[in-house]
Amino acid sequence: MLLPFAGLFLGFLIWPLLNALYFAFTDFNGVTPPSWTGLDNFRRLWFEDPRFRTALVNSLIYVTCTVTLSTVASLALAVAFRGTSWRDRVLRTIFFLPSVTSTIAVMLIWRWIFSGERFGLANTVLSWFGADPVSWLSTPRWTVPLLVIMAVWGGCGYGMVIFVSGLNAIPDELYEAARLDGATDWQQFRHITLPQLKPVTTYVVITGLIGAFQVFEAVYIVFRGVSSVGGVQDGGLMLVPYLYDLGFTRFQLGYASAIAWTLFLIIFVISMIQLRVTRALREW
Amino acid sequence: MHRRSLAAVAAAMLLAAGCTTTGTSTAPQEDAEGPAELLFWNTGSDEQAAAVQVAADRYKELHPNVTIRVQAIAWDDGHAKVLTAATSRSGPDIISGGLSWGIEFGELGGMVDLNGFDLGQAKQQTRPELWNSITSPGGAVYGIPMDMTLYVFYYRPDLLQKAGVSAPPATWAELFTAVDRLKASGVATPLVEEWGTFEWLPWFNYLKQAGGSLYSEDCTQVTINSEQAVLATTTWADQYRRYGVPKATVDVGAGLAKGEYAMAIGASYLAGGFDSGQPELRGKWQTAALPTGPAGAGSFVGGKIVGAMSYTKHPRAAAEFVKWLYTDEAVEILQREVFTRGGELYISPRPELLAKANASDNLKQTLQTTLNSVTGPPNCKGWETSGSEVSRRLQAVVNDNADPRTALAEAAAVMQGNLG
């Protein structure tokens, strides 16, 4: 019974992972056989590669902003629309829609919104106030903020649904007791809702964090038409697009594998820290 | 029992996966007349692939045992697809793609060196600058030019006249004077660029017009940090900083039609779409060669190469078809079909056949003039990796007011490192 699953699991998950780990220690261009180089790829990556540092810093800023804003927005939406009325259901559906819409379609719309031409939606709005059009996508300082806006808009609906189920699982007795003791709405939220939502919050933060570190489509679709992968002056270069660029544009598959494993280690370590902190807070 | 089965499955998968990196090829069949069934991945639109299929069908009439099936692959992921094919040693027999792809994939061992199939005629018929771009430093030719893309200066004569500019600008000075006058006459964005916008490609035009180069002729020295390059970079950067050229790619046809743009430096492929995409623009646009710099005319030429993959079982049949695409008959079919199916202009690597292209006399004249001063992408080692690094340094001159000399020195260091 387990054999088909085991075969697929080994063939499509374990084997590629181990293969990538092996390639990370080789010089491999994809066509000629790989040659063993030991830790060279990792040494170059961590100590000699300014583009990797750019990608890492951009990714950390993007992840921090996206996860924080998404989590706060998701929770706010969940608290606002947690009920069973038609209004709440309709609004929950509207906010959840981006999560089930084709990413490519959504990104193409964002590209139109932030088009540098006068017909771009953002520039049209600016023109109402007499402002000159802005080259949103080819101005490096705008790149990460735009990516954060896109991610928060697209991701908060999913977080909202998770938070709504978490909110509905909190026993009403806790709120009734608090109200009898004279607790205000804010005190109830601060001392009942938030502590009760810790497991859900942990889940939303960790899955959001993993997703944010792996951002690719937004950078690739929105900024690729503007400049090379990562946008103008690498303003939006993130780890996965950089991995793609090196692996599939520059044929450095060994080096790209080293980036992939580095990304895995970063996500693993941050997730472990997050879990430990959450556990400590719960025990406290 | 279960453990044994699991081990067998794992071993089979390991073997299968191992084949993807070591690869074995069957002994090639050397008969040009077939029998052979060839798959051709043509990078570009479905309409272009359909046009090439018409040529392939005609080839089959001449060589009944050779069947060629043409499939379109998109520019967006074509590069990665061809790499995957080369890695797995399975996929198309013939590919077409960017001018630099031949050297890239060929040097990796992914493509056949066509020198073994008598390229004399094709070499003789191609402009030397273009042929040099597709020849590897070691002399190998992994793909021969299939079509060309040139830079063209597009403009609206009526808007220029309204602004008091009687003729298309012929020099840098005239270009920027025209921009000022057009701006004063109410044109929102007098000049735009399309094709590698805000990348090294349009900058390269200025570099040539200033008399500079990227590498020495023999590819032993990086020459990007010259005084000519500084002048080119300053002028190119001024386009954006002083004259308001957009840094993002724009819809040239729509902008010209609305009168928002009056002049554009863009690719020759744009010309085919103006009349069909913007009917109101019909008869209102003209073309000219790019304005010249202190060293005269000069511009970049790009396009596609076509070549055979190294694992093909029919390298000779593939090579013969690739060479046949240079014949008068094949060029005429492609000129006709590419225009009929997609409204696009097909520019053959044989410039003497340009006269038969579906284009206005003005455009043909522009292309003919431009062809006399074109330079293809460098074939020097490491340029593919260096190109985007150079773009980043150039962009810093515009966005961060970086000193052009410093930016070019940094670019030179990167290029020298990649040159080895």
Task: Give tens-digit pLDDT for B313-372.
Answer: 999 999 999 999 999 999 999 999 998 888 888 999 888 888 888 889 999 999 999 998
pLDDT of the residue at B17: 41
Letter string b/e over residues A188-205, b meaning 16 or more CB atoms within 10 A of that residue's CB: eeeebbeebbeebbbbbb
Q: Which one-letter DSSP state was computed for residue B336?
A: H
Where do we find the tokens 């993959």? B309
What the block records as the tokens of A92 is: 């929950």
Could you give the maximum distance between any two Cα atoms of chain B, in Å? 90
Of the ranges B205-209, B329-333, B375-379, which one carries the lowest mean pLDDT score? B375-379
Contacts of A109 (CB under 8 A, 6+ apart): none
What the block records as the tokens of B193 is: 């660029």
For residues A193 and A175, is the Cβ–Cβ distance under 8 A?
no
Residues of chain B contacting A31 with CB distance shorter than 8 Å: 83, 86-87, 105, 108-110
CB contact under 8 A, B83 and A251: yes
Q: Which of A27, A152, A53, A166 is nearest to A98 (CA)?
A: A152
**In chain B, which residue's Cα lies nearest the Cα of A231?**
B392
pLDDT of the residue at A133: 84
For residues B354 and B348, is the Cβ–Cβ distance under 8 A?
yes
d(CA B333, CA B204): 33
Residue B10 has pLDDT above 70, yes or no: no
What the block records as the tokens of B14 is: 């390991």
Using 50 as the pLDDT threshold, list the residues of chain A that sit under it: none
What the block records as the tokens of B387 is: 């190109």
E strands present in B100-221: 144-155, 189-193
* C-alpha dihedral sign at B47, B51, B52, B53: positive
| H runs (alpha helix) in B99-138 | 101-107, 120-125, 128-133
Of the ranges A141-145, B140-144, B208-212, B379-383, which one carries the lowest mean pLDDT score? B379-383
Residues of chain B contacting A3 with CB distance shorter than 8 Å: 2, 5-6, 9
Residues of chain B contacting A140 with CB distance shorter than 8 Å: 399
Residue B25 has pLDDT above 70, yes or no: no
d(CA B76, CA B82): 12
Task: Tally the C-alpha atoms within 13 A of residue A118's C-alpha that lie toward its C-beta.
Answer: 14
pLDDT of the residue at B30: 59
> Which chain B residues have any C-beta within 8 angstroms of a chain A C-beta?
2, 5-6, 9-10, 13-14, 17, 21-22, 76, 79-80, 83, 86-87, 104-105, 108-110, 188, 197-199, 246-251, 255, 260, 384-385, 388, 391-392, 395-396, 399-400
Where do we find the tokens 């950078």? A219
- C-alpha distances (whole Å) from B12 to each of A30, B6, B24 are 22, 10, 17
What the block records as the tokens of B16 is: 């299968």
Q: Which one-letter DSSP state was computed for residue B171?
A: B
pLDDT of the residue at A95: 93
d(CA A46, CA A265): 13
Q: Which residue has the higher pLDDT, B181 or B19?
A: B181
DSSP codes, chain A: --HHHHHHHIIIIIHHHHHHHHHHTEE--SSSPPEE-TTHHHHHHHHT-HHHHHHHHHHHHHHHHHHHHHHHHHHHHHHHT-S-SHHHHHHHHHHHHHHHS-HHHHHHHHHHHT-SSTTSHHHHHHHHTTPPP--GGG-HHHHHHHHHHHHHHHHHHHHHHHHHHHHHTS-HHHHHHHHHTT--HHHHIIIIIHHHTHHHHHHHHHHHHHHHHT--HIIIIIITTTSSTTSGGGTT--HHHHHHIIIIIS--HHHHHHHHHHHHHHHHHHHHHHHHHHHHHHH-
Contacts of B66 (CB under 8 A, 6+ apart): B33, B34, B35, B36, B38, B59, B60, B317, B320, B321
Contacts of B169 (CB under 8 A, 6+ apart): B153, B175, B177, B178, B263, B291
What the block records as the tokens of A171 is: 């026993």
Q: Which one-letter DSSP state was computed for residue B79?
A: H
pLDDT of the residue at B22: 37
Q: Which of B93, B292, B314, B119 is nearest to B209 (CA)?
A: B292
pLDDT of the residue at A251: 86
Q: Give residue B196's region: left, alpha or beta (phi > 0; psi -120 to 50).
A: left
Residues of chain A contacting B14 with CB distance shorter than 8 Å: 15
Query: Angle CA(B123)–CA(B125)–CA(B130) in degrees, nearest 5?
Result: 65
Segment B403-409 mean pLDDT: 97
Q: Which of A253, A182, A250, A259 is nearest to A216 (CA)?
A: A259
3-state DSSP call for residue B241?
helix
Polymer length in residues for chain B: 420
d(CA B158, CA B147): 32
Name which of B17, B21, B197 is nearest A33 (Cβ-Cβ).
B21
Contacts of B331 (CB under 8 A, 6+ apart): B325, B348, B350, B353, B356
Mean of per-residue pLDDT scores for chain B: 89
d(CA B13, CA B262): 61
Residues of chain A contacting B399 with CB distance shorter than 8 Å: 139-140, 232-233
Residues of chain B contacting A28 with CB distance shorter than 8 Å: 21
Contacts of A181 (CB under 8 A, 6+ apart): none
d(CA A1, CA A234): 49
> Which chain A residues have any C-beta within 8 angstroms of a chain B C-beta?
2-3, 6-7, 10-11, 15, 19, 28-34, 115-118, 135, 137-140, 224-228, 232-234, 248-251
pLDDT of the residue at A89: 93
Where do we find the tokens 């699982």? A169
d(CA B230, CA B206): 10
For residues B381 and B419, is the Cβ–Cβ distance under 8 A?
yes
Name which of B2, B246, B392 is nearest A234 (Cβ-Cβ).
B392
For residues B129 and B332, is the Cβ–Cβ distance under 8 A?
no
Residues of chain A contacting B255 with CB distance shorter than 8 Å: 117
Contacts of A56 (CB under 8 A, 6+ apart): A239
Amino acid at B196: G
pLDDT digits (tens, 9 = 90+) for B287-323: 999 999 999 999 999 999 999 999 999 999 999 999 9
Q: Which of A5, A31, A8, A221 is nearest to A110 (CA)?
A: A221
pLDDT of the residue at B108: 87
pLDDT of the residue at B15: 41
pLDDT of the residue at A124: 92
* Predicted ipTM of the assembly: 0.80
For residues B351 and B60, is the Cβ–Cβ distance under 8 A?
no
d(CA A154, CA A103): 9
Segment B45-63 mean pLDDT: 96
- For an interface test with B, the pick among A227, A246, A250, A257 (most B C-beta atoms closer than 10 Å) comes out as A227
**What is the pTM for the complete model shown?**
0.85
d(CA B178, CA B167): 10
Contacts of B61 (CB under 8 A, 6+ apart): none
pLDDT digits (tens, 9 = 90+) for B225-236: 999 999 999 999
Residue B6 has pLDDT above 70, yes or no: no
**In chain A, which residue's Cα lies nearest the Cα of B75?**
A225
Q: Which one-letter DSSP state was computed for residue B217?
A: T
Strand-pair category, B374-375 with B299-308: parallel
Residue B128 has pLDDT above 90, yes or no: no
3-state DSSP call for residue B187?
coil
Residue B396 has pLDDT above 50, yes or no: yes
3-state DSSP call for residue B153?
strand
